[in-house]
Amino acid sequence: MQYRTLGHTGVQVSSLALGAMNFGRVGGTGQDEATAIVDAALEGGINLIDTADAYSGGESEEMVGKAIAGRRDDVVLATKAGLPLGDERNHRGGSRRWLTTALEGSLRRLGVDHVDLYQVHRWDPSTSDEETLSALTDLRRAGKIRYFGSSTFPAHRIVQAQWAAREHHLGRYTTEQPSYSALQRGVEADVLPVAQQYGLGVLVWSPLASGWLSGAVRAGREVRTNRSTFMPQRFDTALPHNRARLDAVERLAAVAEEAGLTLIQLALGFVTAHPAVTSALIGPRTLEHLGSQLAAADTALPADVLDAIDAIVAPGVDLAAHEKNDTPPALLDPSLRRR
């Protein structure tokens, strides 16, 4: 396992990190298997675990808390808030009111008195940067969080938040968590360069592209990924963008085979090769999944393999741009762009 410094924090984290989104009813991973996955991940050198209050309505946090009981100080623990937690309109977003309440809930579910990294799950256009950063700064001063970061922020919002922190003399985001894979490379154009410029640690999610790069989606085979049951449109190969992804997967698989690698090793080695990336978040549902992903812990792709990947999916290109989750609100809501 490789270890890298998380931004300017001085904290050393593993190049592969354990994402716990599949813990609970969404991924179907129960407590016993979740604990076994955490055990094996820590034994394999992973020291960063990432979850969120919205994952299975808090169930993931509860399961992570039970799994790390008795060894809290050996884990760099990260969670997130901001996505809707129930139907109450104020149980979401980046307001001081909600972030303070949400953190207390996360600490209770995790069974800890602080988290190492607290992340705003999505940019909240209805809340000012000053409001959000002020709340996070106070939570850090209170000792309930050590650092705070953003997740899936567009590049211009990362820059704006850095400016607001300086303008109002507040703590600043020290990490960003974008979606990044060999099939979704749009962040290479702006988010990753901006993160480098501001010295942010980068924890990338979905490096296996929701299962497309796990070997579960191949030409002529029935789709075998858990996500296909609740996001079938992402795997419908009758759709043009999915046909383009399937073609890219087949070509990437050939590159991996020629290099003597599994497709998973190729995919994870690709994202961790980018100089802006600190860690790639893997989200195994089973011990078997974890084993196949840990096999990529020390994968270092040579230049010719990286060049071959570039020839299949060009730098800065998303094969499914509509799945980026950072589309500006004005492009989604006509009332925001029409008078």
Tokens of 208: 């296996």
Cβ atoms of 249 and 218 closer than 8 Å = yes
Q: How far apart are CA 63 and CA 67, in angstroms?
A: 6
**What's the N-to-C CA distance of the chain in angstroms?**
54
Contact 68, 47 (CB under 8 A): no
Closest by CA to 55, choosing from 258, 212, 268, 205, is: 205
Active-site hit among 55, 118, 147, 173: 55
| CB atoms closer than 10 angstroms to residue 69 | 12
324 backbone φψ class: left, alpha, beta (φ>0; ψ -120 to 50): alpha
Please enumerate in sequence order all residues whose Cβ is within 8 A of that of 36, keeping only pairs 6 or more positions apart, or say none: 287
Count of CA atoms in the C-beta half-sphere (13 A) of 305:
25
State yes or no: is 173 an active-site residue: no
Give the C-alpha separation, 81 to 247, whole Å: 36
- At CA 229, angle to CA 227 and CA 235, rounded to 5? 65
In this structure, what token pair is assigned to residue 265? 């090793």
Active site residues: 55
